[in-house]
Amino acid sequence: NIQRGGKLLLPSSALEQISFLEISTPFMFKVTNNINGRSTHAGVYEFTAEPGEVCVPQWMIKNLGILPGGPVVVESVSLPAATFCRLEPLTRNFAYISDVKTVLEE
């Protein structure tokens, strides 16, 4: 479900441009609201959006402060690999999970 993740639906023309430019995988994009300057990064789910459109998860629309159907700028970026991540459980229930790795990967 695209609404639950950090991935976009882009048009097939975007894949054609990426192929032409020989951009390496994984494909990462910067999504920017030029009106307020807010931006975030996302991957791509599929190249099945209508020409000239991009489908963005609702949480991303809210965080960027854009109106549904409003304009955004999408540009390919190369991000450095993460070297560290610290997670803090919201409740003590996390301590009772027997297979934490599997739960986090889902």
**Model's pTM, two decimal places?**
0.77
The segment with the largest mean pLDDT, out of 9-23, 31-45, 69-83, is 31-45
Query: Averaging pLDDT over each range in 63-67, 92-96, 98-102, which range is the top one?
Result: 63-67
The pLDDT, as a whole number, for residue 56 is: 93
**Domain residue spans in the chain?**
2-80
C-alpha separations of 60 from 10, 22, 40, 51 in Å: 15, 27, 8, 20
2-80 maps to which CATH number? 2.40.40.50
Distance CA 95, CA 19 (A): 45
pLDDT one-digit tens code per residue, 47-78: 999 999 999 999 999 999 998 888 999 999 99
